[in-house]
Amino acid sequence: MDLDFWWLLVIPVAFALGWMASRYDLKALLSESANLPRSYFRGLNFLLNEQPDKAIDAFIEVAKLDPETVELHFALGNLFRRRGETDRAIRVHQNLLSRADLPANERDHALYELGQDFLKAGMLDRAEETFGTLKSGDYAQGAQRALLTIYEIEKDWNRSIETARQLETMGAPPLGLEIAQFHCELAQEALQRKNPEEARRQLGLALKANPQNVRATILAGDVDAASGDAQSALMQWKRVEPQNPAYLPLVAEKVMKAYDTLGRAPEGAQLLTEWVDRHSQNDLLDVAYKYVAELNGPDAAHTLARTQMQKSPNLAGMTRLLEAQQAVAEEPRRSELELMRKLIQQRTKNLPRYTCQNCGFRARLFYWQCPGCSGWETYAPRRVEPIPASS
């Protein structure tokens, strides 16, 4: 009975304490709300009524009236930057930085956002200077990533490598793929300056950073070819197949020119035919078809095109098959085949050839770095077929 009696006392006491706590929270909430400027509620009302421009003006007034609203300053600055009003975003973040009482972490945050404003505005030198001050703290790694973006835009590949290495020491995921591409860019520049020794050194560093980097293998062949060593160039380009056969179209023409230089063009055409047989790709078929027709005649080219169409039917292959049939046909069938071939070519000639697997950016040329999202090795070297219209 005594236990039941105590429970009867505990329940109303707990209820009373809860009621008092809720009353206290309610009073505190009402007190805080009373201290907020009317402009804050006007801004919320504008947002609810889908009037963002008026809401922004109201929140700016709040920020002016109550300089303690740090988070509101950050929200406004980010909003201005997203809308492309980078000058207003810069002023908001500079206004924050001018405050002597701003905590260290908030100061770093304001510096980081100001750097992003400068970057968005294309003021790369000021962005680099701002990000360079963030060497430690919560925003240091983000600042280093922004610096890496700046150096890539400026094509300062040595500093890109240095920054990528710094990022790895700060705990970022491995950047071997990107570092290898930076070394390839330096090798490309050395090749253009006719400095094969430096080009080879950079390519060695690229493969050390990423042994699967196909571009370094292709460039190594280019260096040998530029030095007049067609045989060594061939050996390099043939290594592309075991590395990644998807990139064979990028070396097909190079391989044929090397074989032709060595006086072994038929051997080159045979190799391309074998590549096409093992890896059905339209770009490979285009190159192989041209040389097979030239060296072995229209019948051999027709056999090649027909075999590939049976294995992998597509419009690009159909164009080659019709071209092969036209070469051996007689009138009036030749004219009919020509008409069909032109119709298919008209359907496919304006197709973008490559699509970025990250952002979907389409281009007629192959890029190692996407012009849209700046990602490296995001393009697969294969042509895009048209998507049939839904009925």
Task: Please state which CATH number belongs to domain 176-239.
Answer: 1.25.40.10
pLDDT for the residue 58: 55
Tell which wins on pLDDT, 241 or 326: 241
CATH for 67-169?
1.25.40.10
| pLDDT exceeds 60 at position 23 | no
The alpha carbon of residue 363 and the mean position of all alpha carbons in its chain are separated, in whole angstroms, by 13
What are the residues facing 355 on neighbouring strands? Answer: 362
Domain chopping of the chain, boundaries: 67-169, 176-239, 244-349, 352-385
Q: Note every long-range contact of 367-376, with CB atoms under 8 Å and residues 24 or more positions apart, other chains counting.
A: 368/181, 368/184, 368/215, 369/152, 369/181, 374/149, 374/152, 376/177, 376/178, 376/181
Query: How do beta strands 354-355 and 362-363 pair?
Result: antiparallel
Q: What is the pLDDT, as a whole number, of residue 247?
A: 94
Distance CA 380, CA 127 (A): 33
What number of other Cβ atoms are within 10 A of residue 389's Cβ?
5
Provide the pLDDT for residue 331. Answer: 75
Q: Is 184 annotated as a binding residue?
A: no
What tokens were used for 364? Answer: 């007629």
- The residue ranking higher by pLDDT, 374 or 72, is 374
pLDDT for 49 beyond 50: yes
* pLDDT for 289: 84
Q: State percent of the chain over pLDDT 90.
A: 47
> For 88-102, 170-184, 218-232, which range has the lowest pLDDT when averaged over its residues?
88-102
Domain 244-349 grouped into CATH 3.10.110: no
Question: How confident is residue 369, by pLDDT bands cut at 50, 70 and 90?
Answer: very high
Segment 27-51 shows an average pLDDT of: 48
| Calpha distance 294→367 (Å, rounded) | 30
What's the pLDDT tens digit per position in 176-219? 999 999 999 999 999 999 999 999 999 999 999 999 999 999 99
pLDDT at residue 19 greater than cutoff 80: no
- Residue 277, pLDDT above cutoff 60: yes
Q: What is the pLDDT of residue 42?
A: 53
More confident residue, 145 or 283: 145
| 255 CB neighbour count, 10 Å cutoff | 22
Q: What is the mean pLDDT of residues 47-73?
A: 57
Residues 6+ apart with CB under 8 A from 133: 111
**Per-residue CA distances from 258 to 107, 244, 281 (Å):** 60, 21, 21
Q: How confident is the model at residue 10 (pLDDT cuts 50, 70, 90)?
A: very low
Q: What is the mean pLDDT of residues 373-379?
A: 92
pLDDT score at 131: 96
Domain 67-169 and domain 244-349, same fold? Reply is yes
| Residue 305 vs residue 197, higher pLDDT | 197
Q: Range with the lowest mean pLDDT among 30-34, 35-39, 50-54, 139-143?
A: 30-34
